[in-house]
Amino acid sequence: EINNNLQVESYEKAKIILDKYGISKDSVAIWGTGLPRREFLHSDDLADACFYIMENIDFKDLIDTEEIKNTHINIGFGKDISIKELALLVKKIIGFEGELSFDYSKPDGTMQKLLDISRLKSLGWSASIGLEQGIKSVYHNYEETHPPTPSLSKREGE
């Protein structure tokens, strides 16, 4: 009985949060136009890059003998995707049959966030997990570790 009460309470809390952000069984509201572009990197690739740098790169190789400048190393995938393309990709992967709507009253933010990863590539490392592969992996892991929840359209008395 405690478990059933917790499930109902958790469902109701989740429903409130989803409603707040415009997410229902039938639609998902996305801020802005969907045109801004973002770069995504899988956390496994980030960890791999960090270990690669620590094990293979000597700080002395990154600096000029005259002065220390530009010694940072950007870690990224090197490719960006529009928010709209991302939403459509996620929709396809999870099998969402509802509508995606864009809320033009909300800000787009910076139109592009793409790192220059040329230094890291020149040092011999590049990401190996593409965005689609990464999203599929995360989604399948979520499905395996979380039991199905009641339909988002279910409410008491319906």
Ranges of each domain in the chain: 2-145
CB atoms inside a 10 Å sphere around CB 152: 16
Q: What's the pLDDT tens digit per position in 100-157?
A: 999 999 999 999 999 999 989 999 999 999 999 999 999 998 888 877 765 544 444 4
Q: What whole-number distance in Å separates Cα of residue 115 and Cα of residue 64?
A: 22
Confidence of residue 52 (pLDDT cuts 50, 70, 90): very high
- Do 23 and 90 touch, CB atoms closer than 8 A? no
- The second-level CATH assignment, the architecture, of 2-145 is Alpha-Beta Complex (3.90)
